Structure 1
């Protein structure tokens, strides 16, 4: 399962990516991941206002439908997630946010 491939600690060998760059994790961030070459050990940092957003790690079906059957939830406003290898799907779990582009799909080798 995807969740066991995520590690909560920083890896000194990976790159650090700030999701959404200077704008952070917000509306219409979908596509931010395009053109990036993610590797196992890279760290994604999600910065956002935790009063209005969160981060859910889900599967492809949850990403596509914006209704995850199960998900790991982050809600600190400054979440660092280290990638394993494989496909990873992240959405905002606040109703309506995923549908307007608050989601990314990552493939790490």
Structure 2
């Protein structure tokens, strides 16, 4: 009987360690509001400066619904202010939450004239 209780205690301990490890991993992700209190707007290219982003962190893009959008694009799309590739993901809720991937993450607004007027950001995530 004592052997059975020891196995249960050991299994419980392992389970507890796994739960703690999982919670630590989940708690590592941070949430950043793009543009801080001003939200997603023009001339934010410097907003990421000084911030440390990691893959899995979440960017929140707040803006008046219908006034803007957020499109995750590749570098060519960012540089050319175009939704490239054509299947680029478009967000338009006004409170978009986008999880960063490792490497360079590029976002633009595709409302005509907005990206060309500086409504775009690049975020490097480690």
Query: Which structure dedicates a bigger proportion of its chain to helix?
Result: 2
**1:44-74 deviation digits (Å, cap 9, x = unpaired):** 0000012110000000001011022222100
Equivalent-residue separation in structure 2 for 1:62 and 1:82 (angstroms):
19
Give the Å deviation of 1:17: 0.3
Deviation (angstroms), 1:100: 1.0
What is the deviation of 1:28?
1.2
Aligned length: 99
Asked whether the 8 Å contact 1:61–1:68 carries over to 2, the reply is no
After superposition, give the CA deviation of every residue in 1:19-43 in whole Å (9 maximum; x if it has no partner): 0000000111121111211001211
Larger radius of gyration: 2
Q: Larger relative contact order (C-alpha < 8 A, sep ≥ 6)? A: 1
Measured in 2, the distance between the counterparts of 1:51 and 1:16 equals 23
Name stretches of at least 5 consecutive residues in structure 1 with no aligned partner.
Answer: 1-10
Q: In 2, Cα distance between the equivalents of 1:103 and 1:65? A: 11
Pick one of 27, 48, 53 that aligns with 2:68: 53
Equivalent of 1:37 in 4, 28, 52: 52
TM-score for both structures, normalised by structure 2: 0.74
CA RMSD, 1 decimal:
1.1
- TM (norm. structure 1) is 0.85
